[in-house]
Amino acid sequence: MQRTRPVSAKPVSVAETAPSPPVTMADIEAAAKAIAGKVENTPLRYSRTLSEITGAQVWIKFENLQFTASFKERGALNKLLSLSNSEKAAGVIAMSAGNHAQGVAYHASRLGIPSTIVMPKGTPSVKVEHTRNFGANVIIHGDTLADADAHARGLEKSQGLTFVHPFDDPHVIAGQGTIGLEIMDELADFDAVVVSVGGGGLSAGIATAIKSRRPAVAIYGVEPALYPSLSAELRGEEAKVGGATIAEGIAVKKVGRLTAQILRQLMEKVIVVEEDALERAVTLFVTVEKTVAEGAGAAGLAALLAEPELFRNRKVVVILSGGNIDTRLLASVLTRSLVREKRITSIRIIGNDQPGLLASVSTVIGDNGGNIIEVNHNRLALDVPAKGAEFDITIETRDARHTQEIIDALTSAGFPPRPHT
**Number of structural domains the chain divides into:** 3
Domain assignment of residue 108, given as a range:
72-163
pLDDT of 122 reads 78
Domain assignment of residue 193, yes or no: yes
Q: Are residues 56 and 174 in the same domain?
A: yes
Crossing angle (nearest 10°) for helices 125-133 and 99-111: 10
- Grade residue 15 by pLDDT with cuts at 50, 70 and 90: very low
Strands 371-378 and 388-396: antiparallel
Give the pTM.
Answer: 0.87
Yes or no: say if 376 and 392 are a contact pair by the CB < 8 Å rule: yes
- What is the DSSP secondary structure assignment for residue 22, as one 8-state letter? S
Give tens-digit pLDDT for 229-251. Answer: 999 999 999 989 999 999 988 98
Q: Which of 293, 265, 352, 217 is nearest to 21 (CA)?
A: 265
Pairing, β 92-95 against β 44-46: unpaired
43 found inside a domain: yes
Rg of the Cα atoms in the chain: 25
Do 120 and 234 lie in one domain? The reply is no
229-to-208, 224, 286, 348 alpha-carbon distances in Å = 20, 9, 28, 44
CB-based burial, 203-231: b 16+ in 10 Å, e otherwise: bbbbbbbbbbebeebbbbbbbbbbbbbbb
Q: Which residues pair with 376 in a beta bridge?
A: 392
Q: Note the pLDDT tens digit of each residue in 312-329.
A: 999 999 999 999 998 999
Average pLDDT over the chain, rounded to whole? 91
Among 325, 349, 382, the domain-final residue is 325
Q: Are 230 and 263 in contact (CB under 8 A)?
A: yes
57-87 residue pLDDT tens: 999 999 999 999 999 999 999 999 999 999 9
> Which residues are the active-site residues?
72, 321
In one letter, which amino acid is 328? R
Q: Which are the contacts of 59, defined by CB distance < 8 A and separation ≥ 6? A: 44, 45, 46, 47, 187, 190, 315, 316, 317, 318
Q: Which of these three, 148, 163, 178, is where a domain ends?
A: 163
User: Torsions phi, psi of 420, nearest 5?
Assistant: -75, 140
Query: Where are any strands of DSSP class E within 25-108?
Result: 44-46, 57-62, 92-95
| Position 419 in a domain | no
Residues 79 and 181 occupy one common structural domain: no
pLDDT in tens, 28-37: 999 999 999 9
Domain boundary among 130, 148, 163: 163
The DSSP code for 64 is: G
